[in-house]
Amino acid sequence: MTKEQTLSMIKPDAVQRNLIGPIISLIEASNLVIKQMKMLQLSIEQAENFYRIHKDRDFYSKLIEYMTSGCVVVLALEGDNAIKVYRDLMGSTNPLEAKEGTIRRLYGTNITHNSVHGSDSLENAIIEIDFFFK
């Protein structure tokens, strides 16, 4: 197995509902190790940059408005196959389609307020971890 790092972000809906602790417990129970962690409120510029891949999507402005609406917690996670392990733990983007026991099924309320983000590839994990921790 390959040791990898991935970026996790606990989004404003989860921070506002006091779900940082429960989400971190699920992360640690999945054998992912927190290597770096911080809380911040994204500026519009930071959110637009982080989600620039979605800039032509119809949900983009709603996404930026939401992601800048409150604090987020960002974590660099490490473990064997960390990217897949964390994506499996998050569940599908839409909480209504996410499997039982996943973070988004447990805590997400809709496709925008879906509680967590995670890197989708090794390449993006490096870019996203650098974005917050370089």
Catalytic residues: 117
Q: Where are the alpha helices (DSSP H) in the chain?
A: 12-16, 20-29, 44-50, 60-67, 82-90, 103-107, 122-133
- Residues in the interface with ligand CMP (CB under 6 A) total 8
31 near ligand CMP, rule: CB under 6 A: no
Partners of 9 in the β-ladder: 74, 117
SS3 state at 43:
coil
Least distance CB 78 / ligand CMP (angstroms): 20
8 near ligand CMP, rule: CB under 6 A: no
6 near ligand CMP, rule: CB under 6 A: no
| Region 72-101 residues binding ligand CMP, contact defined as CB under 6 A | 93
Which x/- pattern, by CB under 6 A, does the window 104-123 give for ligand CMP?
Answer: -------xx-x--x------
Cβ distance 102 to 91 under 8 Å? Answer: yes
Cβ distance 76 to 34 under 8 Å? Answer: yes
Least distance CB 10 / ligand CMP (angstroms): 11
Task: Give residues with Cβ within 8 angstroms of 72, minimum separation 6.
Answer: 9, 10, 11, 12, 15, 39, 40, 41, 42
Instruction: Give whichever of 25 and 93 is closer to ligand CMP, judged by the CB atom.
Output: 93
- Interacting residues with ligand CMP (CB under 6 A): 54, 59, 63, 93, 111-112, 114, 117
